[in-house]
Amino acid sequence: MRGLFVVDLGRRSYGDALDLQRQVARARIVGDVDQDVLLFVEHPPVVTLGRSSKAAHMLATPEHLRRQGVELFEVERGGDVTFHGPGQLVGYPIIDLKRHRQDLHWYLRQVEQFLIDALATYGLRGTRRPPYTGVWLDERKVASIGVHARDWVTWHGFALNVATDLRYFDLIVPCGIQAVQMTSLNTELPNATPALSSVAERVAAAAATLFDLVPQQIAESELMAAAHTVVR
Q: 36 with 96: CB under 8 angstroms? A: yes
Residue 175: active-site member: yes
User: Which one of the listed residues 175, 182, 199, 206 is annotated catalytic?
Assistant: 175
Give exposure, 73-92, as e/b (b: 16+ Cβ within 10 Å): eebebbbbbbbbbebbbbbb
What are the residue boundaries of the structural domains of the chain, listed by start? 46-89+98-212
Q: Quick one: fold of 46-89+98-212?
A: BirA Bifunctional Protein; domain 2 (3.30.930)
- 182 contacts 140 by C-beta, under 8 angstroms: yes
Contact assessment for residue 51 and residue 19, using Cβ atoms and an 8 Å cutoff: no
Contacts of 7 (CB under 8 A, 6+ apart): 37, 38, 39, 40, 217, 218, 219, 220, 223
pTM of the full predicted structure? Answer: 0.95
Alpha carbon separation from 225 to 17, 22, 23, 232 (Å, rounded) = 16, 15, 11, 12
Residue-wise pLDDT tens digits, 49-94? 999 999 999 999 999 999 999 999 999 999 999 999 999 999 999 9
Q: Residues 134-155: pLDDT tens digits? A: 999 999 999 999 999 999 999 9
Is the peptide bond between 174 and the residue preceding it cis, with omega within 30 degrees of 0?
no
